[in-house]
Amino acid sequence: MTKSSTPFCPFLRPSVTAVLLLAMSGGAAWAQTRPPGQLRLPGYTSASSAGSAIGQRQADYIVAVVNSEPITNNEVRARMLRTEQQMAQQGTQVPPRNELARLLLERMIVERAQLQLAREQGVQVSDTMIDEAVLNVARQNQLSVEELRNRMTSQGLVFTQFRTDLRNELLLNRIRERELDAQSKVSEQEIDQFIREQEADSAGAPQEVNLAQILVVVPENASADQLAALQARAQLAAERARSGADFTKLVAEFSNAPGRNADGQMGLRGADRYPQLFIDTTQNVPVGGIAGPVRSGAGFHVLKVLERKRAGMPGSTVAETRARHILLRPGVQLTEQAAVARLADYKKRIAAGQADFAALARENSQDGSAKDGGDLGWAAAGQYVPEFEAQMNSLAPGQVGEPLVSRFGVHLIQVMERRSAKVSTREQREIVRGTLREKKFEEAYSTWAQEVRGRAYVEFREPPQ
């Protein structure tokens, strides 16, 4: 069964709404690195901490009225507190507090006006959608919904307010999509025009290239015998690469560079951002071809050309990964901790040669891919949810990852192979369509948001403190 025909494929990238909810939950990485007992809910601040941050002025007061709906000083202060926390975590310089308060108040006015418009137009978010959103957040924190509620309460968070904020975020997302969808459509003529312009602009533009390498490091003061042995090792790697062996597997076998990527890829970048030695060596090598070994101060390099493109245009090839997985869905009969333990046991049995991944997937996986031994087929970047894709990208072919908790359950992932696939004309046009649609949406949103803000009656009272 292909991914497109699978009725429910939980690891595929979800709708914009689901992405929004993941962002609000903090993502899998946050869930796995949070301090013990500390929830990762970046949109929320405990009532106690917000109250203490409000400081000297005990009584709340109205700072602005949007139509007939007030915005209070406490609301602005709570938003300021969590914004400052987020900026500090990201290493971003925090603006002066009075300037930050002014900016956040204006943002809240715009949001309030859009929420009012959504309600006027009958846009609704069902309780079921909120329940699903809460469940996603709980899973990202590796908790049940009840455990999430209890943990939030113990940290001074108000669970009902948490649900209200989730509802508001979904309402904002829906009204924006409804209002701007038509303005964001991209015609075939617009795609043609974009391609013509990019081809004209990039005729003299610098070329970008994506290289992968096997680096056999030569230590300082290496003897002649050592040097000869290392050169022979690099030559063997190059010969096997030219004979069609999987380059990623060769990287794992031959490359001994510290901090190397599992697949050896150095990324799509301008030629001026590669060592001149690499550019000179690969300039006449076609996509998919092998160059080297060549000697540098670091050692012997075997290079593979993965992609070439002119700046501004979609690439002609794309890196794809074929993976398989086993998915267990925690529930009444299976806790999340038990699912993790079970998959960890599967991994040990596979590593010991006592079990076969595909057989375990067919017998135990709770996903549509189970009948195919968990095989997900070939997929390019962006087709899976971030937490799934992040672990998949860190694995070498044949490697099995640790049990991964996602919003959909617990996964055991194995990368089977990787390749560089040629992007068809249709796929290139879809890439252009997405680029143009995103640009048109941003432009349309800016205009629409200003119009909604301009139609709203806004009365400023006392400034926030």
Residue 41's pLDDT is what?
Answer: 53
- Spell out a b/e string for 323-359, using b for 16 or more CB atoms within 10 Å of the CB, else e: bbbbbbbbeeeeebeebbebbeebbeebeeeebebbe
Q: Would you put residue 92 in left (φ > 0), alpha (ψ -120 to 50) or beta?
A: beta
Q: In which band, very low, low, confident or very high, does the pLDDT at 3 lie, cut at 50, 70 and 90? A: very low
Domain 206-311 adopts which CATH fold? Chitinase A; domain 3 (3.10.50)
Could you give the CA distance from residue 304 to residue 56 in angstroms, rounded to a whole number? 64
Contacts of 424 (CB under 8 A, 6+ apart): none
Q: Give Cα separations from 65 to 108, 448, 451, 456 (angstroms).
A: 11, 21, 18, 10
- Tokens representing 188 are 């075939």
Query: Over the chain, what is the mean pLDDT?
Result: 79
Delimit the CATH 1.10.4030.10 region(s) of the chain: 34-184+444-460
Query: Which CATH architecture does the domain made up of 34-184+444-460 adopt?
Result: Orthogonal Bundle (1.10)
Q: How many residues does the chain have?
A: 465
Q: Which residue has the higher pLDDT, 87 or 384?
A: 384
State yes or no: pLDDT of 271 exceeds 80. no
Contacts of 327 (CB under 8 A, 6+ apart): 10, 11, 365, 366, 367, 408, 409, 410, 411
In this structure, of 43-47, 116-120, 422-426, 460-464, the range with the lowest mean pLDDT score is: 43-47
Question: Can you tell me which residue has the tokens 């400034």?
Answer: 463
Q: Which residue has the higher pLDDT, 224 or 138?
A: 224
Residue 206's pLDDT is what?
Answer: 56
Which of 3.30.2130.10, 3.30.70.260, 3.10.50.40, 3.40.50.300 would CATH assign to domain 318-422? 3.10.50.40
The string of pLDDT tens digits covering residues 17-31 is 333 333 333 333 223
Q: What is the pTM of this model?
A: 0.49
Delimit the CATH 3.10.50.40 region(s) of the chain: 206-311, 318-422
Residue 65's pLDDT is what?
Answer: 94
Spacing of C-alpha 179 from chain mean position: 26
Q: In which band, very low, low, confident or very high, does the pLDDT at 457 lie, cut at 50, 70 and 90? A: very high
